[in-house]
Amino acid sequence: MKKQTISILFILILGISLNLSVFAEEVENSSNPEMMFNTFKEVMGYILNYHVEESKVDELIRGAMTGMVETLDPYSAYMNEEEYEEMQFEYEGHFGGIGIVITPDLTIVSPIKGTPGERVGLQSGDRIIAIESQATEDMSQKEAVDIMRGEPGTPINITIKREEQEEPLKFEIIREDIQIPYVEWEMITDEIGYINIAQFVQEVGSKVSTAISELEADGAQALILDLRTNPGGLLNEAINVSSNFIEEGVVVSVKYRVGSDDIYQVRPNIEATDLPLLVLINQGSASASEIVSGAVKDHARGILFGKKTFGKGTVQSLFPLGDGSALKLTTGRYYTPADTFIHEKGIRPDVVVEYNPDYEGDNDNQLDAAIQYIKDTYFKEELKPAS
């Protein structure tokens, strides 16, 4: 339907009459689609003939497509060729910037762990209202990203609106070369292995398998999986990661308006560990992070620990277009194994622990509390000192 619509727009610009009745049943939100397309042609004509500055037809068409997609939901987007290439570039995990993930309305999903954005105190839910004193009201996601990225070592000033704060907060942030270690692991005590996933990109599932094998070889008797401030990523990798911890059953189901629903099972080729599991989550855990958290919770495979998650329960599909641009379109809603739709609700942890930035330990009271919970719950007797 989208490609047909784009073709229609080009035909209308040339002034060729077209019978649109074939599309009427698909245009559910318009009682008279032909009139709307004719109105579009009129608006285009006035702009081309009377706007104070000369316009290019292709730019107007791209603007119309961008606006059309923006009416759908915050996660769908039309990307021109440069934006599409930029999205692919981001998956290389290497760029100069401040290290935040933002939605199209410039709300921060989460700062990336260990980056300047996290260190200055940016938080999930903060909305960027100005960049370098320029209001972001009419700024696109790409425009904002382009401004915030830059040479490492250079400053950038942003202003954010935080829900519980009456006045906007201003930050000067020094850009760095952002290199994302997507999976990191270590023995955090003699008995507990720790795995952190920064984002769900390609091969994250296999890296988690490697991490588990190495931690078990090092004597791990329990595992902590840290998904805090993880904005999500690839659906397949969420299934692969879940399969490392869940032996069998459904990981997630995706329901569509068009076509058959998909039910994703645990991968039979991935061997699941049976070690006790605790999953750390917070308000920056979104999308694929919530798929893993929901599967762990519904299968009673481990304990969710921390704060309620972000609440993104939709799936986006990528449609590359013939001119090098692409359409990222929300095509489905995902449901946890217990058939729970978590969009804009999030997943509540089994044990709530507020993050305390003034904690005097290693500045991570949630992680320390998780370690103590595992000790008290799973092998307290083994850890008692010898008499």
Residue from 287, 289, 293, 325 carrying the catalytic annotation: 287
Q: Which helix (H) or strand (E) holds 301?
A: none
Is the Cα dihedral 286, 236, 103, 155 positive or negative?
A: positive
Residue from 298, 307, 325, 328 carrying the catalytic annotation: 298
Kindly state the greatest CA–CA separation across the chain. Answer: 93
Residue from 113, 207, 297, 312 carrying the catalytic annotation: 312
Pair 157, 133: CB distance under 8 Å:
yes
Question: Looking at residue 271, what DSSP letter applies?
Answer: P
b/e sequence 229-249, b meaning 16+ C-beta within 10 Å: bbbbbbbebbbbbbbbbbeee
- CA distances (Å), 160 to each of 43, 68, 75, 167, 314, in order? 36, 27, 20, 9, 26
Alpha helices in the chain (DSSP H): 2-13, 21-24, 33-50, 57-70, 81-90, 116-120, 141-148, 204-217, 235-243, 288-298, 365-377, 380-383
Q: What does the block give as tokens for 272?
A: 């699941």
Report CA dihedral (117, 123, 127, 132) to the nearest 10 degrees.
Answer: -20
Is 298 a catalytic site residue?
yes
Is 218 a catalytic site residue?
no
Please give the backbone phi and psi of residue 53, each rounded to the nearest 5 degrees, phi first. -115, 145
3-class secondary-structure state, position 109: strand
Pair 362, 368: CB distance under 8 Å:
yes
Decide the pairing of beta strands 183-187 and 192-197: antiparallel
* Residue type at position 278: L
Is 73 a catalytic site residue?
no
3-class secondary-structure state, position 233: strand
Report CA dihedral (139, 145, 147, 153) to the nearest 10 degrees.
Answer: 160
Q: What does the block give as tokens for 16?
A: 């060729």
- CA distances (Å), 268 to each of 150, 247, 303, 313, in order? 44, 8, 23, 25
Question: Looking at residue 140, what DSSP letter applies?
Answer: -
- Catalytic site residues? 287, 298, 312
